[in-house]
Every structure is written in C-alpha cells, then in structure tokens.
Structure 1
Amino acid sequence: MNIHNISESKAEKEKNNKTPYYFEEPLHDLAKILDFSMDLICSCDEEGRFIWVNKASERILGYKPEELIGKKYSDFIFDEDTDIPINVNIDFRSETHLPIFEKKFIHKNTSIIYLQWSVVRDDVKKMCYCIGRDITEKKNIEKAFEIERLQFFNIYSQAPSYMVILKGPEHVYELANELYLQLIDKKDIIGKTVKEVLPELETQGIFEILDNVYKTGESFSANEMPITFDRYSYGKLKDVYLNFIFQARRDAHNNIDGIFIFGNDVTEQVLSRKKIEESEKMYKDLIHKLPVATYSCDAEGRIVLYNKAAASLWGREPELGKDLWYNSWYSNDAKKKQAAPLNLCSLGTTLKEGDPILNKEIIIKRPNGDKRNVLPHPVPFYNADGEITGAVIVLSDITEMKLAQKELRKSEKKYRYLFDNNPMPMWIIDLLSFKFLDVNKMAILQYGYSREEFLSMTALDIRPNDDKIHFIKSSDTSKIDKSNYNRGIWNHIKKDGTIVPVEIIAHNIVCEGTAARLILSNDISDRKKAETNLEKRNRELIKTNSELDRFVYSVSHDLRSPLTSILGLISFIETESKEIDTLKHAELIRISINRLDDFIKNILSYSRNNRTGLEIEQITVNEMVLDIVDSLQRMKEAKGIRYEIDIKEQKPFYTDNLRFTTILKNLISNAIKYHKKEEHDRFVKIFGYSDHENLHFSIFDNGIGIDPAYHQKIFEMFFRLSGKNGSGIGLYIVKDAIEILQGSIEVQSEKGAGTKFNITLKNLKSC
C-alpha cells in the first residue's frame, strides 16, 4: 500500500475552488446526470451561496454555472417586485424541508424570469439541494389570462347590453351583469336556476328554447321578441321587447357546459316605432279622410301620399314615389295665362327655402282638358337638423268661387239698379262708425237730405234726441249699444223736422271689405194710426164684454129669483088643491118654469165658458161621474135606469173642473131625459180610460136615438129636434167646452137604437 499525503493538495484545491473537498466527488458524479435536466438544479450553503449549478442555468438565467458558483442566490432576485409571496426570503438554516415556492429572478439580459423552487435541507452537510423550474411562460399566460379576464369583466359589467352566463342543464345563473338585473328587477340570483328566479317564463316557451340550445348547441336569436316579466313579484306583469341570442358555452373538452346570453332591451325603440307608425297611420288616415284635396311629397318633390279628393281634382291618380309634384298640375300664371317657372311656384319655393308663397293662384289642367283654378297651401316638414324633408300640400279648388265672383261683378249693375230704384228707403251703414256708406233715391226723396248730406252723417243723426240717449252709454258717449240699434220700430226725423215712425229691416253684409248693415226703412204712420184705432176699439169691446157679463149675471139672478118663488107657489097649490084640472095645470106650469130655468142656467154656463180662464187641477174621474149621476137622480125620467160606470184611470188626469163638470152633466142628463119610457132594461153606460196624453171615455144609452141626418146639426146653437123640449144650447156648450179643453167629440146613433158619444180630452199636465 502506498500512502500519499494529500492534505496540502486538498487544501490548495479547496482554496482554488472555494468548495469543500468532501462535496466534490458526489457532486461530480451527479452533475453529469443532472446537466441534462431541463430544470435549474443547484446546491447552496447556509448563507445561500451557490455551491453547484447544472448547465440549465445558462438556458434559464443566461449565466454559466461557473458565473453563479460562490454567489448568493439573492443577488439575482428581482427585489423591486412588490409580489411578497413570491420574493419572501427563505432562511435555509431553519427548516429541513422547504415548501414549494416561487421567485422572480433577473435574467442576464435583464428580463424577469419566474422560477418555481423546491428545497431539501441536509443538516449533516449543512447545505440545501434546490430545483428551480422555469414557469415564466406559465406566469405570462396567467397574467395574460388575468388581463383578458379583467378586460372581459370590464366589458361584461360596463357593456351597454345585458349579458348572462347560465351553467349546467338546470340553467343556473353563474354570471349576470347589472343591466340584466335591472331588466328583471331582481337581486341575488347567482346560484339559482332560471325557473326559480323567473317562473313566469315557463308559459312563454323560453325554457324549451334554453333546453334545445343546451342539448343541440344550436344558437337561438330573436328580434323584438315580446317577453313578460313579473317585475315586482306580486303578479303585476310587464311586457318588454328584447333582441337576444342564446349561444352554447363549451369547456376545454368541447363539451357544452352552459349557455351564454347576450341581448338588448328594445322596448322603448319598439314602442317609439309603434307610436311613430300610429302617428303615421293617423296622419295618412287624416289625409285620406280630409274632404279637400291634400297630398304630401318628399324633399325631391316625389309624391308619397294623396287622398281621393286630390285625385278627383287632378283627374288622375299619380304613381307614388315616381311622379313629381309638378307632374300633377299645370302650372300657369292665372292672370297672364302663361307658364310660370316651377321654382317660383308655392311648393317649389317651399321645398327650396321653406318659406311658402301663400295666395299664389295656379291652374290645374286635367287629362280631359278641363282646367281648375286652385290655391295651394304648402307646409314644409323639417328633420332634427332643420333640413327640409318634404311637405304637405292642401289644394283649395276656387273655380266655383271665381265663377261666382265673375257673376257677382255682373250682378253689381243689377244690384245698383235695384238698390237705387227700390220703392222703400234704403241705406248702408258702417257697423263700427254707423256712418252712411250709401243711400238710394227713395231715401233721399222721403227724408229730404241730399246724397252728400247723408254720406256726411251717421245713422244717429236721423234719430230724435230723446231716442239717441237710449243708445248712448252715459259713461262714454262715443260708444253705442249696437245690439239693438236699427232693429224693430223706431222714430226717424226728416230734414224738415217731421218725426215719423218707421219699421226697420236690417241685414249684415260686407261692403267693399267692411262689415256693414243694409237697412230698409218703412214708414208706418198709417199703420200706427190704425193700431191706435184698434186699441181704442179693443178697449171698447173689453168694456162691452164686461157690461155683458154683468148683464148676464143680473139677468140670471133677477130671472131665477121669481122663478124660484113661482115654483114654491106651485108646490103650495099642488099640496092644497084636490082638483084634477088644477093639478094638471100646475104640472104644466112647473114643466115650463123648469125649462126656462134650464135655459137660464145654460146661458150662464155659456157665458162663463167663454169668459173664464182655465184652472187646471187633478180630477178623479170615477168619483166625479158618480157624484153627477147621483145629483141627477131627482129627474123624474131617471127612475128605473141602470148605470154602469167603468173608467180605468191609468194615469192622473188634469183638466178644468168647471168645464169638465158641464160636459158630463149635459151629456148624462140628455141620456136620462131622452130615454125610452117603455123599455124594461134601460141603461146608461159610461166607460173609458186615461193615459199619459188623454182621457178617452164614452157615454152610451139605449134611448130614442138621433137620426144620422142631424148628427152635425145637434152641436149648433139653438138647434132642437122636432118635438123635443130642449133649449137647443146644451150640446153647443158641450162642444165649445171640449174644444177649449183641447178635445174632440163624435156621435154614433140611429133613430130608435140609442146614442153613443165618444169624447177625448187632452191631459193638460204631462206626467
């Protein structure tokens, strides 16, 4: 065995390599293997100095191993980075096994390298073995991904459209931006299914669409689709219109794992468009329904809309969007009868400058050669920028007016002749100033003023001073009460001072563009005298009637008083006397006196009927008929007569009590008086009904009847049938009273077969 002292050699080598000798051999063998590693593999002492580094250091950090050995790893750390978890310093003395951590290093070319380290400590050798994996590309990808994620989140959260990500087949909300939350008016939806959040969508087919997109991967899009949301969660639904797309989301393995939703709420646009469409429809309907010719055109003058009246005026129907406005009329100067430049026409000026020329008359020539005088009234349309986009034109057909004006001019001469030669005084006054504008020859002749004098005066100047005061307000003598002036009958004063009453007939007219009044004056002096005489005669008649009333009352009173006394004496004779002849004579006297008394009563009734006013009151018809029948039972002819009374009072009946009583008494008493004595079943029937308008009733008996030849004569005054003892005034009074009560009466009778009177009386107070 040869023994060599290598202490000095080892010491020298250790001095040169700065590496403990006892580390050199194992590392030398291991280095050959580890140099092929893609990761940076090294060993460090307790101070953090590199002891050994594999060749990967040149590829990863840009330094050769010999450039790193002996230097601290901290010299190559990027210490300006604020990412503390990556650059925290590791104390190699404190732990036997360090966790995996990341650090940023500075490459030789000054770029930043990310290394992921794993460290194992050897307490015996007082050193650490380290492996550093280059994760720069990974970190750059992560950083790029984070940047992309932040950009996506910014777009997602600030996008002007709503965005939603649903996860899984149950469509669970994974993301939803603020616009979507505002759309559905919900919060805290993440992690919940669409069915939980929006159950109202089930009946609208949305869930079926989502399921189909998730299963097939086929996108679904919709424009202006109406969706109803229960936005307040208490059943109050609100309709919105949405543009949206449902698109399948795929994972790294291209499997569908959710749905991406992107959309816009276009409710305002849809509603605005609908309002615009409604406005356009109303506008078009208005144009079509206008009774005057109306059409519209665009800025280029192309006709886009017209109504039937316009087509009728043109005599043809233009082609929309093609025919120009000047193809639809024949633009002629109405006065010069020659073609006018189109740019000077009212519509041409309107489309060019926006300032329409009004009252510019044109002539439209129809295809059949007919020409119409027209006044166009164009109105320009402007957009938001103030640009003219078109116009609407109303065409007023003034052909007939022009013809009428022509005829009017022709008739002016006739009017002048008729005005000047009218047999009544006529003049025209200004409605504001009351000055005379024109007078005719008869006014000059009758009033005595010359034409020049009339034209220098006002209508008040021909009124007497007392009349003027009535029409001039005390507070302002310049203002005249025009509402009454020149209406009715007034006094006029002639030039010679004579005052005459005149009747004024006034008509408002337009004279040379001024509001005026045409007045005819009729002298009514003779009529006034006649009216004065008539008033005098009326007063005399009233006096005569009053005296006649007093006479009738006096006669009836003075005659009836002695008749009553005579009837008393006759009753005394009939009681005391036993002589048959005397009793017979007394009976004859009584009959004559009763007949005279009835006549006096009828005369008094007639007088009251004609001179007494109506006193309307409610009548209970059945009760009144019963009372009258009861009062007539004292008549000797009433014995043995049967009465049937049936009047259905369906509505309250109003009439004059006195006259109604007179009618009933006369007709019922006649039915009793002229009955057949030999009949066994004698009757008087009274029946009828009252309605809203009238009382209808009939009085029917089976008495002696009336020959049809006398049906009209029986209502004449003092007419009596041959052999009858009546006064001849009763039925006359009945008919007269019925006419006053606005009724009618007719008779149905045959001689020997009874009589029926049908009466209708108006209900004088409507219910």
Structure 2
Amino acid sequence: MLVAPELGLLFNALPRPYLLLSPELVIEAVSDAYLAATLTLREDLVGQYLFDAFPDNPQAPEAQAVHNLHASLLQVLATGQPHEMAQQHYDVPDPDHPGQFIERHWQPLNAPVLNAHGTVVQLIHSVLDITAQVQGQAYLRASQAREQAARAEAEAQRQRFHEVLMQLPAYVAVYQGSDHIYQFVNPSYQSLFPHRSFLGRPFREGTPESVGLGVVALFDQVYQTGEPYYHHELGGWFDFKGNGQPEQVFLNLYLHPLRDAQGRIDGVLDFSYDVTEQVRARQQVEQLNQELETRVQGRTHELHEQQELLATVNQELLGTNQTLHISNQRLLRTNADLDTFVYTASHDLKSPITNLEGLLAVLRDTLPLDVQQQPLIGPLLGLLDNTVSRFRLTIDQLTELIRLQQTTAGPAQPVLLGPLVAAVQEDLAAEATAAQARLEVTIPDSLSVRFAPANLRSIVYNLLNNALKYRDPARPAQVWVRAERQPAAVVLTVQDNGLGLSESQQQRLFQAFQRLHTHVEGTGVGLYMIKRLIENAGATITVTSTLGVGSTFTVAFPA
C-alpha cells in the first residue's frame, strides 16, 4: 500500500524510531529517528524486504534476532493485537565497513494497522535503542566479576602465604600498633613457649625476656623509622618450659615494617630462626682449636725441656722418649677427635639445610611472581636464599677439608706424564675453549714418574685448571706445560700468563681456605690438597709469580 505524501512526511518526523511495513514485511516508510538509530538511508530501505535490509549478524548466532522478530510480526498479523517483544540483541550493518556489523540492543513493539473491517493492512514496528544501557550493565557485571575474581585471587594468595608461614621451620609472628600487639604466631613460634598465650598481648608481656636484650627497642626502631633490621646470632636466655629454668639460644632475627593501604606503618613482622647448634658447633671447633694450640705449645715446651735434659742426663733417655711418645699419641687422638667432630657437625647439618632448600623451592613454585616481588615477600625470600647458601658453602668447605685430611695415597707405580697430561687436557677442553686459551705441552714420550696415578692426575688437573681459571681478562690466555728428567728428580712446570700473585699472596697460597682471587668459584682447598699429596710422597712444589705477569708452579718428583 502506497503512503500518501502528507502522511509520509508526518511519519518521517516522528520522534522515535518507527518502520511502516506491509503485510508482506516490505518497508513502506521509515522515520528519521529510525534511520539515525540504524545508520541507514531512506532510499536504501523503502521497498526492501525487512530481513534483506536487516539480516542476522553471523558473528552473533546466539541472538536469533531475525527469527524472534519474524515470529512477533506473524503473531501480530494473525491476531491483530500489538506484541511487545523482550529485549533483543539485533546488530545493524556497518555502512563504513561492508560485511561488518555494529552492536545494537532494542526494546521492540509491533502493532497492527487495521482497516474498517478489522483486517491488518499494515504493521508499525517501533524500537527503543537500549544499547548503552545493556553495554553498561554488561560492563558492570564484567567489572564486578573481575573484582570478585581479584578478591578471590588475593584471598587465595593470602591463604597460600598463610599456609607457607604456618609450615615454615622458622619462627614467624606479626605485631600491630606501637605497643606491638601479637596478631599472628605460626606453630614453630608457639612451640617455643607451649605454656604461653600470645594473641592480643603486647610483645613485652608475651616475651618478657626480650626486654633485657633490647629487642623491644629494636621493634620500636623499625616501627618508627620504617627501616628493616637484621640481627645476626642474637643470644639470650628464655624460659621455654615455664619451669623457671631459662635456656640459652641464638637466633638470627629479621624485623620488617608492615604498612596499611595508605602506606602508613601499622605493624612489624618478626622472622627469626634458631642457629644455636651452628653457633655452638663453631664455638666448640674454636675451643678445640684453642685447646689444641695450647696443648701443642705445652708439648713443645715440654719437648724443649726434655731435650735440654737429655743433653746432660743420658740415663733418662728411655723415660724421656716414652713421655714424648705418649704426648704424640695424645696429639693424634686430639686431631682425630677434632676431625670426627667437624665431619659429624657438617654431616648432621646437611639434612636441615636440604629441607630448607626444598621448602624455598616449594615457596617459589607456589607463590605467583607478582607476590614474590612484593616489598614484604621479596626481601624475606632473598634473605632465606642468602642464609641457606652461606650454610651450604660452610658445610661443603668443612666436608672437603675433612676428606682431604683423611686422603691416603694409593700404591706408587710408574706413570707416563705425556698421556696423563693429554687426558687432563681433554677433561678441561670446555674450560680451555671458554677461556680461548692456547696450551703448549713439551714432555718427552718416555718420561715417567713413580707416583700414585690418581693423586698425580689430581695434581696436574688442579694446576692446569687454576691456570685457566685465574687468567687475565686483558689478554689471551697462554699455558706452557714442560717436564724433564734432571739428575736427582723429574721436574714438571706449569707456567701461565694470568693474574699473578703478590709476595704476600704467595706466602698464603698453600694454606687451607685461602682464596686469593674471589671473582671465580672455589673453596680454597685445591692447592692445599695437592701440596699435601706432593709432600706426603716425598716430592716438593714451589711457585714463582709476578702480579699482572703470570705464575710458574714447579713440582720436583724424586728420580
């Protein structure tokens, strides 16, 4: 049905979006508001089948807009009654990008136009654009979901961190306010004082022994300045069992300030762990060393007196020798006891250090990276890593020294020097390549020395490895290995153009745990070890070196 011109002008000017449709669903008139809402032109719509002009968006198949609108219009045609549709997701084509659609949400109302006989002759389709409202609600829901997820994640992280603190073998407590009121203690902390209650009490009341140690003042300092504080091996006496009999302990104490959401300091974190066994082990070693030194000095003095006495009283020779033998036996037993103690201490400490390393690995695997980088968590993890590394290094050094003390030489036999040096070169090929080093070996094919093969190989390996390791980064590394038979000895020399040593460094070179260059890994026992192997076999080792020029090690094996 054609629309009269004056009626068309009136329809076009309607303030809301309207379509006038024929019973065949062909567009007969369009309001200006509808054109604006759907980004279309009148000449592109009038005369078009409704669903050719506005097809479904293939990227939103769940909307089913065409199906729903078509069913509503058919219902109006069949019943002659208006039908208000539910909210519809019905995207419109993008005029600037053919084949693309722009998101739209509508509140549609379809009404019939009846003739005098009550027959539907036209349909009026009106819509209300609620896109902004729907998108706002969706954004609000998404925002609420994100907030809820963030809260859940934060709570999960807090719970995971709480579980880690609860399982740590260290003593952890959290205090609030300037009076340092206990807010949290983990089981390890509580197990120290099973008879005491802490939560809700000031630190000075929960642990009154700390007042005399000055720990309360340290809490005040951290709370007032906001600066963390670390105390190494803090010693004190505490009544752990509540029986009035205090026990001495040593703790590594770390205090960290806690801040509220506004960045104000509102509490202190107390992280400490027991190092009593380590401190006492070290003290016992020091005491044994002191006792040993005192005994040696005493025995030396006794020996001197006995030698003077022997010069004048030959008759007492047998008794004096017996006394000297007893003294030597005592010294040997003392050395053996010291070796046993150090070995036992280093062995027994490996298990707790391994447990701590495992817990640290679990902690790092469990906590997300952003949590590990938080101001509170990052320093704690770094502190644990550094402490465990120091313990591990100390234990490894003690173990290595005892192993060297107990090393015995195998049976001596003739060993060709050339093939042995070549085998060591192969083992150090990766290090030589990394150092871009040039090795020159000058050894007669038939030259051999009588020595324990494993010990001889250890000597050559250490000398070559040190020549590569302590190279001068300012110039290409060069190493010369030479050997020759002399009248009284077979002489092996290893010369390099590395960093070299000062005179004071050369005097300490063969002492245990002496690391003269700390920029590379090492325990400082390598040269101490090979010197013992060499001298135990009746050979000698010497060094000549110039700082900044290089070093030459010379080993003389008995011919």
What TM-score comes out, normalization by structure 2 length?
Answer: 0.34
Larger Rg: 1
Q: Which has the higher helix share?
A: 2
What TM-score comes out, normalization by structure 1 length?
Answer: 0.26
Larger RCO, structures 1/2 (Cα 8 Å, 6+ apart): 2
Q: Which has the higher strand share?
A: 1
